[in-house]
Amino acid sequence: MWQARYVAERVTTRFPHFEIDTVVIKTAGDVRQDVPLSEVAGTGVFVKEIESALAEDRIDFAVHSAKDLPATDSPGLVLAAFCERGDPRDALIAPNHGTLAALPEGAVVATGSVRRQAQLLAVRPDLRFVEIRGNVDTRLAKLDRGDADALVLAVAGLARLGRQAVITETLEPETCLPQVGQACVAVQCRSEDAEIIALLAESCDYLTTRREVVCERRFLSLLGGGCTAPVAAHAISSDRFLYLFALVATPDGKKIIRTRSGSTLDNVVGVAEGAYQALLEQGAEALLSN
């Protein structure tokens, strides 16, 4: 809802004559709280119902967390805008301990993300993990009642809700490389709707974020839709160059293959393909096929 209001404000600020009605659509990912996220990651469980509403002309555009989107666009739909990215890092919330290093031996960390689990296990192989679902307040409440010693959430989500004060340690990418598209709000519409595409591009699209997230998504698409291995990728830009940091890991974190690819700003696809090939050359295919 925060993201929907944010996009609506961006559009109406640029085009004051537009009136926007917000339509709330519950997705399978919202309803099925009993299914671990690791089992449905990358399958579009948070977007399918929304995309159906677009395809059926029940809505004119849709607001998504870019990290929830499948790596390739659905037929007939297009991502018309990538809003300016927030802080892409992950946050540790450990009220009684503070930092990852200070967690006691065998501490329980709440996160359903295999990406986070693998990278944290590489640093702290003694940690145990529990699945956690629900919105931010629900997850924080579970932590407060002692369901876990620590919780991992996205920094951007906490910041948008004004809850960043609960963060006890921000995990740097060297420790926990972000998920593809993390901290980016993406706006989707029908590919034939030129007027809406132009409106969203002018009011919401941020070129640097678009370049970086498109690079990450291209990398993810190269891995294939059926990839269930822990994967992470984060692109950053300088004035002239684009760099992609990527990794693939075993779920237990005992093996992590990392790479970095870079090129000029206009070579987004080349950067993504360079990272993918570099991982394959280091033996990533064995990890991806498991």
Task: Tell me the pLDDT of the chain averaged across its residues.
Answer: 92
Helix (H) or strand (E) holding 242: strand 241-249
CA-based nearest residue to 125, from 255, 254, 258, 287: 254
Q: What is the pLDDT at residue 224?
A: 84
Question: Which residue's structure tokens are 């926990």?
Answer: 176
Q: Whole-prediction pTM value?
A: 0.92
3-state secondary structure of 226: coil
- What Rg do the C-alpha atoms of the chain give, in angstroms? 19
CA-based nearest residue to 248, from 287, 205, 289, 196: 287
Q: What is the pLDDT of residues 252-287, one digit of tens each?
A: 999 999 999 999 999 999 999 999 999 999 999 999
Instruction: Measure the CA–CA gap between 264 and 209, rounded to whole angstroms.
Output: 15
3-state secondary structure of 243: strand
Which domains occur in the chain, in start order? 1-83+185-205 (3.40.190.10), 90-171 (3.40.190.10), 207-290 (3.30.160.40)
Instruction: Measure the CA–CA gap between 108 and 123, rounded to whole angstroms.
Output: 14
Give the number of other CB atoms < 10 A from CB of residue 13.
10
Q: Confidence band (pLDDT; 50, 70, 90) for 232? A: very high
- Annotated catalytic, 21? no
Q: Active-site residue among 30, 68, 147, 149?
A: 68
DSSP lists the bridge partners of residue 245 as 234, 260
